Structure 1
Amino acid sequence: MPLINARREYKRQVEEGRQAPKRETTFEHSYVDTLLDIKLPEEEGDRPLTEDEIVALCSEFLNAGTRTTSMVKNPAVQERLHAEIEAACGDGEVSEEAVQGMPYLEAVILEGLRKHPPGHFVLPHKAAEDMEIGGYLMPKGATVNFMVAEMGRDGRE
Structure 2
Amino acid sequence: MRFSQLVDESRIRSDLPGADKRSVLVHLAVCLSEALVAIGFEKPGVDATEILRLLLEREAIGATGIGGGIAVPHGRVIGLERSIGVLCRSVAGVAFGSPDNLPVRLLVGLLTPYEDNAAHLEALSAVSRFFVRGTACGDLLAAPDSRAMVQVIFSLERQP
| TM-score bucket of the superposed structures, by smaller chain | under 0.3
TM-score (norm 1): 0.23
Give 1 or 2: higher helix fraction: 1
Structure possessing the higher radius of gyration over alpha carbons: 1
